[in-house]
A and B are shown apart, each in its own frame.
Chain A
Amino acid sequence: MEYAIELKGISKQFGPLFANKNVSLQLKKGEILALLGENGSGKTTLMNMLSGIYMPDSGSIFIDGKKVSISSPEDSAKLGIGMVHQHFKLVERFTALDNIRIGLRDNKGLLLKKDTKEQVMKQAERFGFEIDPDKLVSNMSVSEKQTLEILKVLCYGAKIIILDEPTAVLTVQEIDKLFKVLRKMKEEGHSIIIITHKLNEVMDVSDRVTVLRHGEYIDTVVTKETDEKRLTELMVGRKIDLDISCPVIEKTKPLLEIRGLTVKNDEGAVAVDHLDFYIRGGEILGVAGIAGSGQKELCEAIAGLRPVIDGKIIHKGDNIVGLSPHKILEKGISMSFIPEDRLGMGLAPSLSITDNMILKNYADNKGPFIDRKSAREEAKKVIERLKVVTPSTETPVRKLSGGNVQKVLLGREIKSGPNVLITAYPVRGLDIGSSYMIYDILNEQKKKDVGILFIGEDIDVMMALCDKIMVICHGRLQGVVNSNHTTKEEIGLMMTGALDLVDKGGKTAGIAKDSVIEDAEDKNKAEDAGL
C-alpha cells in the first residue's frame, strides 16, 4: 500500500534532549490521523520536520512512496504539504485575500492576477467555508483566522494538511464546524493529520491514532477499536484516574466582591465591562471565555497592576481599588498568571528557584541587601511539599520542565498563606499527570477556606473542578452557572455571547445575597449605569 506520508526512523535532538527518537508514522490517503501525545512528547517537532522548519538528524521521509528531503517550507509546499500552526501566521493588516496572495506561487509577471478572488471563493465554496475575502485579519475572530489559515493551504494546492492543536482556542460550536470541514476535506481525497491531546476530539474525528510519548513512537491504533481509557494509558504510560475531585466545603461569606468593574486594555479599549461577581472562601469559581475576553486585564486589575476605570473591588469589606500591588498582596490576595510562553510573567527564567521565591517580597527585608538564606529555606520547602524535580535550589527555573516550573510558581503563591488565590491557566501546557497534581494543590487550598478564581481554557476540566463557572464575553458577564447543572453547549453559547443568563429567574448573577456592599449604594450604582 502506498502511503501519503511515511516516516521511517526519524530522530531529532536539541542539545542532549531527544525531541524525537526513531519515530515512524504512516498516513494513508484520504484519512484523518490523530497524532496524540502529552506536551513535550514531540508532536509539533515531528510535524515541523514535515513542514520544513526543522531538518531531521536521521531518518527518511517518503511522500507517495518516493523518498524526499525537505529542507525548507518551500520544499514542503511543493510536495503538497500544508501546515496550520498553533500560532497563526497571518499579516494582521492585510485582508483575507491578500494573505492568501502572499504565498501563491503561480503568479508570474508584475501585476496581481485578477481572478485570484474567484479562485479562492471557489475553493471556499467547495469545502463549505464561510469567509469574507475582503475582511481585514485584524478584525477577524480566532475561528475566522483559523478558517483562513486552512483555506490558505488548500489554495496552495496542499493534499496533505497538518493541523497543530486547532481546537485549543475554539468554542464547542466552532469545533463542530471545524470537524465538519475536516470530514468534507477527507471526502475530497485530502489526507489530514491533526495534533491534539484532547481525547474526546480524537474519538470524534479521527480514523486512526498514532501515539507518541517522550519523543518516542508508542503505537498506532484504529479509533473505532479503542476507547479514551486505553488511549490515555498509551499516552501517559500508566493507568490514570481521569476523575477530578471537587470536594464540597462549607462556604464562608463572600471574600472578594467585584461590582461594576471596568478596566481598559493596553490599546485603551474597554477590556472588562461593568463586571459583577464574588468569590466565597472554600470555593473555586471558574472563569470561562474565549481567549482575550478580558481575563488578563481582570487578573491585573485585582492584583493592582492595572488601573481600574470604574467599579469596586471589595475584599473583606475594604475597597482595594487604588492600593499598590504590594499592599494588595499583604492583604492575602495572590495572583499568578501563566502566559502563552509560560515563562513571561510571574517567574524570572534565568534566575534560580531561590531567587524566584522572593520575587514578591524581597523588599520586605530591612537594609539594602536581600535575604537569600530564608529564600533558600522556602525554596527547599516548596520543592519538598510539591515534589518539584530539580537538581538543586540554585537551578535556573528555565532548566526545569514545564510542570515543575508551574509548581514553583504556584508554590510561591501559596507559601504566604493567601485567602484569595487568582490563578490563570495554571495547567497551560502541562501533561496529564502534572495537571492533576496542580488540581490537587488547588483543592487543598480550597479546603483551607481559600477563595479561588480559576481562569481556564478547558471547559471539561472547569466543569469537573470548579463549584461555579462564570462566563465572560468581550469583558461582559454572560452569567454564572453551577457546574453541576450546566452543559458544555450552554457554556459554549454563553462564551460566544449568544446566550445571556445574567438575569435568569429574576436573580442577578454575580451579586451575592449576603453581600457586604450596602444596598442603597447599589441602587445609586444601578441608576448611574442606567444613565
Chain B
Amino acid sequence: MKKYHLVRRSGQSIKRLLIYYLIGITISMGIGAVLLWSLGINPFEYYGRMLTIGMVGNKYAYKNVEGLLKILVPLLITSLALGLSFKMRFWNIGGEGEFLIGAISAAIVAFNVTGLPRPLTILLMCIAAMLSSGLLGLAVAFFKVRFNTNETLVTLMLNYIMLYLITYLGKTKEDWNFFLDPKSARPIFGKFPESAIMDGIKIGNFNLLWSVIIAVALIIFIYIYLKYTKHGYEISVVGDSAATAKYAGMKVSRIIMRTMFISSAMIGLAAGLTASASGTISETVTNNVGWTGIVVAWLGKLSVPAIAVTSVLIAILQFGCKTAATKYPSIDSNFADLLQGIILFSVLTADFCATFTLKKKEDAKK
C-alpha cells in the first residue's frame, strides 16, 4: 500500500523558492568540492576564484569583466528571444541554427563590404544577420501555421543543417571561399577587416563594448513590448489559448509569424554582435547559447527581469568555472562543464521541490 504521494503546494512563495535554490546550489557545490578535493585541489580556493571570476589579486581584473560580458551578451539576448516565442507556446529550440545563420550572414558582410566607416559596417552586418535569422524563423512559423508541422522537430533539424553548413565553410579550401584566411595553408576562418570589429566606450583601461549597451536597451524594450503593447497582449492571449485568440478575432497565424520573426531576428542580432566583437566566426561561435538560452528562459519563468538576472548568474558560472580551471593543470574546461551541469540539475530539482511536496496518507479515524 502506497503511503506517500506527490501533491502540488498551495500558493507560490518567492522566499521558499530562493531557499530551495540556495539549498540545491549548496549541495551541488558540495559534490563539486568532493570531486575537486579528490583531484588534490583546495575546493575553497577554486570556488573563491570561480565566484569572483578570477578578479581578486589580478592586475588585469577588467579583462575578466570584459570576458564575462562577451559571454553574457549573446546568452542574454538569445534567452530573451526564446522567452518571447515560449510565451506564445511556440517551442522554438532552434536558437543554435538561427544564431549560426546570423553569424554566417554577418561574416559575409564583414568580408565583402570594405571601405565603409566602422559603425556603418557593423550596422550592415547586424541587419544582414537579423534578416537571415528572422527569415529562417519566419519560415518555420509559416510551415507551422500553414501545414501544422511540428516546430520542435523543424527547428531541431535546422540546427544541424546550419552546423554542418558552417563546418563545410570552415573546412573547404577553395578559391571562392572568402570566409577562410588566405594566408593559411590549412583551412581556418579568417579575421574580419578592422572596420568590421566592434569597439566600445573606453572607461580607463576597461572597454565597454557597444553590444552591452544594446543588450541592456533590449531588456527594457522587450519588457515594455510584452507588458504594455498590443503585440505583447496578443502574444499572451495566443500563448494562453489559441482558441480564445481566434474567438476574439485575432489573426493567430499572423501573430505567430510576426513573433517568430522578431524572436529569431533578435537571435540574429546576438550573432551579429558576437561575430563583430570576436572579429571572426567558427563552429563554436554560439557557445551553445541556443541550448543554454532554453534553460535560462524557463528558469526565469519567462519573466523578462528574471531572465536578465538568470543569464547574468549563468554567465558568471560559465566564465568563473573556466577562469578557475585555467589555474589548475589537473583539470580542464571539461570540469567546468561538469560542475555547471551538476549545479543546473540541482537548481531544477530545487524548483520541483518548491512546487511539489510529499504527503502522507492517513487512515480514517475510528
Q: Chain A interface (Cβ within 8 Å of chain B)?
A: 8-10, 13-16, 55-60, 69, 71, 303-305, 324-326, 329, 335, 337, 339, 343-351, 355, 358-360, 362-363, 365, 368-370, 372
Contact = CB atoms under 8 A, between A and B. Distances in A.
A57 to B, nearest CB: 6
A267 to B, nearest CB: 14
Contact of A351 (B2, B229, B237): B237
A69 B1 contact: yes
Nearest to A396: B240
Contacts of A324: 249
B11 A16 contact: yes
Nearest to B360: A57
Interface string B1-31: 1100101111100000000000000000000
B230 A369 contact: yes
* Residue with the greatest number of chain A CB neighbours at <10 A, chosen from B1, B10, B364: B364
A15 B8 contact: yes
A15 B365 CA distance: 22
B230 A55 contact: no
Given A13-B7, A16-B11, A55-B2, A362 B233 contact: yes
* Residue with the greatest number of chain B CB neighbours at <10 A, chosen from A59, A348, A355: A348
28 contacts: A9-B364, A15-B11, A16-B11, A55-B361, A57-B359, A58-B362, A58-B363, A59-B364, A71-B1, A71-B2, A303-B247, A305-B246, A339-B243, A343-B241, A344-B241, A344-B243, A344-B244, A347-B244, A348-B241, A350-B240, A359-B244, A359-B248, A360-B248, A362-B230, A368-B229, A369-B230, A370-B228, A370-B229
A57 B243 contact: no
A359 B238 CA distance: 11
Given A363-B230, A369-B228, A57 B361 contact: yes
B236 A368 contact: no
Contacts of A368: 229-231
A325 B244 CA distance: 13
Contacts of B1: 69, 71
A365 B362 CA distance: 56
Nearest to A368: B229
A61 to B, nearest CB: 9
Contacts of A370: 228-230, 233
A345 B359 contact: no
A55 B237 CA distance: 35
Nearest to A15: B10
Q: Interface extent on B, as a size class?
A: 20 to 34
A369 B229 contact: yes
Contacts of B229: 368-370
Contacts of B364: 8-10, 58-60
Contacts of A305: 246-247, 249
Contacts of A13: 7
A69 B5 CA distance: 14
A360 B249 contact: yes
B249 A345 contact: no
A56 B361 contact: yes
Nearest to A329: B249
* Residue with the greatest number of chain A CB neighbours at <10 A, chosen from B11, B228, B359, B363: B363
B115 to A, nearest CB: 38
A14 B359 CA distance: 11
A325 B246 CA distance: 10
A59 B236 CA distance: 42
Nearest to B248: A359
Contacts of A16: 10-11
A16 B246 CA distance: 34
A337 B230 contact: no
A488 to B, nearest CB: 32
Nearest to A299: B247
A354 to B, nearest CB: 11
Contacts of B233: 355, 358, 362, 370
A337 B241 CA distance: 14
A55 B240 contact: no
Contacts of B236: 348, 350-351, 355
Contacts of B230: 362-363, 365, 368-370
A343 B237 CA distance: 12
A326 B249 contact: yes
A8 B354 CA distance: 33
Given A16-B11, A57-B359, A362-B230, 4 more contacts: A10-B364, A345-B246, A345-B247, A350-B236
Contact of B240 (A57, A326, A339, A348): A348
A428 to B, nearest CB: 15
Contacts of A362: 230, 233
Interface string B237-260: 100110111111100000000000
A362 B248 CA distance: 10
B244 A348 contact: yes
A400 to B, nearest CB: 15
Nearest to A57: B361
A345 B241 contact: yes
Contacts of B246: 305, 345
A518 to B, nearest CB: 31
Nearest to B249: A325
Contacts of B363: 58-60
A302 B174 CA distance: 64
A164 B245 CA distance: 32
A360 to B, nearest CB: 5
A370 B229 CA distance: 5
Contacts of B245: 348
A8 B5 CA distance: 20
Contacts of A363: 230
A55 B5 contact: yes
Nearest to B238: A348
A48 to B, nearest CB: 14
A337 B2 contact: no
B240 A351 contact: yes
Interface string B45-75: 0000000000000000000000000000000
Contacts of B365: 9
B11 to A, nearest CB: 7
Contacts of B247: 303, 305, 335, 337, 345-346
Interface string B330-366: 0000000000000000000000000000010111110
A326 B16 CA distance: 45
A359 B364 CA distance: 48
* Residue with the greatest number of chain A CB neighbours at <10 A, chosen from B10, B230, B248: B248
A339 B362 CA distance: 38
* Residue with the greatest number of chain A CB neighbours at <10 A, chosen from B10, B241, B359, B361: B241
Interface string B204-246: 0000000000000000000000001111010011001101111
